[in-house]
Structure 1
């Protein structure tokens, strides 16, 4: 009991520290501090004979086995399969969050295994946007502040941040909810804020891990419409992991994963518009 309480207390302290740091960044940006801008362009993702194993106690669990996959710039790809088939692991590797046990993962022309921790962090911050099933919004920041945070971390001046965040929230239909806290938003609204945050830096690669998993049918449809609009309007490379065939139909190509291996790749007869 004591250990659990201590863990919860530590998590609360970490969350408060993150909120304080985020607010400090907001204040610095409002004071006019600036930094480097963003790099633009389209990545090509390439996985060659990729295997990923994890240690669970004395056992070794293989999450991915011998995966070969190339994702051209500007593609809209869905990775489909049941829970435990390796979808999230695949996205973590593509998103430079994790590294393979064997094989190579190239993103934006770079072999991730050859990058330093600092270079991996810069790649994620500047080139990759990620949308999570559980939103991952900072609870002590407003919707506006959550969306602004990536720009502030990249050192954009406050006037530009204001313009871009206001515009992005309007584009996802939440301009009127900018000052609301995450707990005041519906699930669909929180996911739209999460999408706005993920795309605010105009990343070349956008990853979405079960983006409709916690939403009802209508909210899920709205989220997929937003992702499709991002693809059509900005030409971003988008990879969506999902267990739902209906969600997968929004994509140009569908990769089927089974037991950590690619079981097939197909192109929907009529991708949803």
Structure 2
């Protein structure tokens, strides 16, 4: 940096700062529109509370423990379903890509269930497993499974056949080819599928708790809305949105770290 002209360095820092500020601009505009709609009476303050009141309710729920407890309950369900979906989905995708019999068995099931809204399964899992955690975990698992399977399958099928042929010609077993060649080469597609599954886990976490839960952030949103406590309801909604955003950013950084070898 010592060889860089001070004026150029200052200009670079200003440009970098402007870029960071510009990323926050949409949120600033959204907040301004929110307050304007309420202040002008276009939407009543009861239906669209001020951001200050929402923040006050958020702080209250945060310190009395309600928000933290219900967030923990929700994230434990989402995490359990997501982890199971990733493990099973990667295994199923690899088997489909490498064994014709597995592909013939699973492909019709995937084609039938992939376009179906996963929230439609809520009554089914409620009948099967009741209102306990197992019904929510199963729903999240089923909803997150298919993106991982499809991503893994597409990635594994796209592996350069020359790499597989070379490994087999050197005496590698089928397992070694899968673990040392196919899996690393398919990793970008697998990670893309997992990112989609991460988003689905939040969606299904909240939607399932609307109907088949007695705790969790989805249950909080539903019960607060039914009770007309809209500032607290919006506080929980925005908090869940913030958690989802942070989780996606963390996952994106993790993916970039894992795929640095592609840019080497």
Normalising by the residue count of structure 1, what TM-score does the alignment of the two structures yield? 0.23
Which structure: greater helix fraction?
2
Which structure: greater strand fraction?
1
Rg larger in structure: 2
Normalising by the residue count of structure 2, what TM-score does the alignment of the two structures yield? 0.24
